[in-house]
Chains A and B, each alone.
Chain A
Amino acid sequence: MSRKRWILFAVVLSALIGCLGYGIYLGDPWYVFDNAAAICYT
């Protein structure tokens, strides 16, 4: 990969790790679990 692409990769990676960490801090995984219900039920 070119240097430019590695830099882009590193920026996106940092943003995603931050996103994941903040989501866990907010308790998102438990919300995801709570909604593991019959949502396609129509």
Chain B
Amino acid sequence: MNTSNRRSGLPAKRSRVQLYSLILLNSYILASVGKYICLPVLNCYACPIGTVACPIGSITAFAMVLDFPFYVIGLLGLAGLAVGRAFCGWVCPFGYVQDLLHRIPGRKLRLPRALDATKYVLLVVLVVGLPLLLGNPYDFSGTERVVFEAGGTWDYCALVCPVGTLEAGVPGLIASPDFREKASWRTVSKFAILAAVLVLAVLSHRSFCRVLCPLGALMAMASRVTLPRLRTHQATCTRCQRCQRVCPTSSRLVPEDAGEGEATSECVLCLECVQRCPEAGTLSARLGGKTLAVSGGKTDE
């Protein structure tokens, strides 16, 4: 039996965790409690079966009423501090969708690293900037905490978010005649963005996370002081570049000194590189001073 494409070890464990998280984060019965909580994952809370509140939608809603999202930033920051971007690599349902799509065989692309900055622009302009400046068109006072209204707004959720389109827009269009009546040029453009993101996910691994995810931008900032870290020992590294080839976010292992290096903030701690590194002990994932995983010199390439 040919087992060359079978996933084993850490990648297999990660796939299982991602599947469980996809189910748990879209379990309708838990939504009545979960929607008070923001987790650092992109899972649209407009979706009736979505369990937790979307941090990006929540930050936008606060910005529209000129309020600072203390609770959301506190929750996201603490989660980021504890596990960093591991949420992106192990928990985010849309990350899992992209991982599955990228398994479709065919020609693959590497996006230029310069594009990584796009997500920071989207965070500043569409998640915070425009909602702050334009507010909620349904409430012109701009100072009262009102329920965020749909449509007519200029923000990330209304203009770009492919997760919202996939999880709420698609079922809405299929199930609701009212939804179909209200469809506008924005609906068409969002479906075009969703299609482009899904096609790009097949061609380039985690391209949405790298380029378009404003939550990824927030978590990348938090990952600078996070506890778990991916480190490399320069002395035993043979520069074979295998880690770079399997990295879904094209994160670089930056040498800090002659002895050790550390992954950049794009690293989602998927640990694919640790699994594939042929040099024993060269790559290691650590939490504080404790080693969580270390390259064992085995490779399945």
Contact = CB atoms under 8 A, between A and B. Distances in A.
A17 B147 contact: no
A31 B50 CA distance: 17
B33 to A, nearest CB: 10
Interface residues of A, number: 32
A37 B36 contact: no
Contacts of A16: 73-74, 77-78, 81
B71 A20 contact: yes
B168 A19 contact: no
B212 interface: no
B70 A35 contact: no
B26 to A, nearest CB: 14
B219 to A, nearest CB: 13
Nearest to B57: A39
B70 A23 contact: yes
B289 A1 contact: yes
A6 to B, nearest CB: 9
A20 B53 contact: no
Contacts of B62: 28, 31
B27 to A, nearest CB: 15
A40 B78 contact: no
A8 B225 contact: yes
B210 interface: no
A17 to B, nearest CB: 7
Interface string B180-222: 0011101100100000000000000000000000000000000
Interface of A: 1, 5, 8-9, 12-13, 15-24, 26, 28-42
Interface of B: 31, 35-38, 44-46, 50, 53-54, 57-58, 60-62, 69-75, 77-78, 81, 145, 147-148, 150-151, 157-159, 161, 164-165, 168-169, 172, 179, 182-184, 186-187, 190, 225, 227, 229, 288-289
Given A29-B71, A39-B54, 8 more contacts: A1-B289, A20-B75, A22-B74, A23-B71, A38-B168, A40-B157, A40-B164, A40-B168
